[in-house]
Structure 1
Amino acid sequence: MLKSKKNKLSNLFFGIFIVLLIIPQTRQPIQVFLQKGLAMFSPSVEAKADQKQLESYQWKLTDLNGVPYDFKSAEGKVVLINFWATWCPPCIAEMPSLVGLHNDYKGKIEFLFVSNEDKDVVEGFLKKRDFKIKVYQPISSVPEILSTSTIPRTLLISKAGKIVIDKTGASNWNSDTVRETIEVLLQE
């Protein structure tokens, strides 16, 4: 009898959870909450032998104010590129850690937050969360080694153009591992 009540209660909670996932207004907050659990982990640093080489810096972008950015200017610098969108729960979950890293390393490394979304949508997202980052939109093809069909995708690139971290999915970018890796890359 007690087991039957537990099963009924369990089924009721499961049913409510499924209904909440179906409703658009509650689905995204639940997904972001679940992704934040995954975003507690730091991304892995690629073994030196597995690091891919960025061969081309031929990529043109523009910031949300229409100011052009030539990726060629990032050559010889440590670069962090984050492909993201405002509607993407894993992107939303990891964004606070990226913003924290950006706040501490802006001016030391090049940050490229890249989104294909409408300017007004991105600006509204940033304003609502009080994120002070510059977001870019591509105006030419992304170099093939950087291109992605899945977001978020974040890459940390050395001054020599080696892709040191290549992470798809939510992660903790404001971790000791990432910070230590950046410090080493800045010394190279």
Structure 2
Amino acid sequence: MKKKVRKELIEWIILLTVIGIIYFGGWHTEVVGRIQQVVLTTGILSPNEVEETKIASYNYLLEDFEGKQVSFTEFEGDVVFVNFWATWCPPCIAEMPDIQSLYEKQKEDVRFAMISLDQDEAKAKEFISRKGFDFPVYFLRSRLPDSYDTHSIPTTYVMDKNGFVKIENHGMAKYNTSKFNQLLDELSKTK
């Protein structure tokens, strides 16, 4: 009986030590993100099309990684994939490789705006560089219009060429699916 209790105590100490190292080493966000990536591979978390008519607002400013100010009005008339994310958000990190794959397939027909909400912009830049993502990343430089609900992240919007919001998704999702690619293809072909 004492051996069993001692063995169980040692297992708990090892487990708590590993968790402590991951947490205090600053790796917890990426570890949780990796676990959530496994969930995304199942495809059970997919975005849904917006039921009611909602018009996107293009009235805000962004800044790219090179420090160039970009008015979001430059995106009007295009199909746009907008994702609000941060490096401290495990679900954001979990869906990014999938979004990168989607970007590689759709970058000719769809404009992407990955908008970092990080306070430490250098950290966001380092993260994107380290991961090798090449989708366009921006920082907000003005107040976001009320039509965007980013109280939780990740939050993703897809707008058609006429400025109608077709997808509004709060939380992580798997975007690089045949169904979602088909939706983007249809939006791109529509005038």
Q: TM-score, normalised by structure 2?
A: 0.82
Does the CA-based 8 Å contact 1:64-1:119 persist in structure 2? no
For the residue of structure 2 that corresponds to 1:156, the secondary structure is strand
Q: TM-score, normalised by structure 1?
A: 0.83
| Residue equivalent to 1:139 | 141
Any gaps of 5 or more consecutive residues in structure 2? none
Task: Report how far residue 86 of structure 1 moved.
Answer: 1.4
Identity of aligned residues (%): 29
Count of aligned positions = 182
- Tell me, yes or no, if structure 1 residue 45 matches structure 2 residue 44: no
| Residue equivalent to 1:82 | 83
Does the CA-based 8 Å contact 1:38-1:171 persist in structure 2? no
Does the CA-based 8 Å contact 1:51-1:164 persist in structure 2? no
Task: Report how far residue 154 of structure 1 moved.
Answer: 1.0
Any gaps of 5 or more consecutive residues in structure 1? none
Residues 159 and 107 of structure 1: CA distance in aligned 2, closer, same or farther (over 3 Å): same
Residues 29 and 73 of structure 1: CA distance in aligned 2, closer, same or farther (over 3 Å): closer
Residues 18 and 146 of structure 1: CA distance in aligned 2, closer, same or farther (over 3 Å): farther
For the residue of structure 2 that corresponds to 1:167, the secondary structure is strand
Task: Report how far residue 44 of structure 1 moved.
Answer: 2.9
Task: Report how far residue 68 of structure 1 moved.
Answer: 1.3
| Residue equivalent to 2:189 | 187
Task: Report how far residue 54 of structure 1 moved.
Answer: 2.0
- Tell me, yes or no, if structure 1 residue 106 matches structure 2 residue 107: yes
Whole-Å Cα distance in 2 between the matches of residues 33 and 17 of structure 1?
18
- Tell me, yes or no, if structure 1 residue 35 matches structure 2 residue 33: no
Please list the CA deviations of residues 23-43 of structure 1 after superposition, one character each: whole Å capped at 9, or x if unmatched: 333533431132113322252
Does the CA-based 8 Å contact 2:91-2:171 persist in structure 1? yes
Query: Residues 10-21 of structure 1: matches in 2 within 5 Å?
Result: 17=15, 20-21=18-19
Residues 29 and 20 of structure 1: CA distance in aligned 2, closer, same or farther (over 3 Å): farther
Does the CA-based 8 Å contact 1:43-1:165 persist in structure 2? no
Does the CA-based 8 Å contact 2:56-2:159 persist in structure 1? no
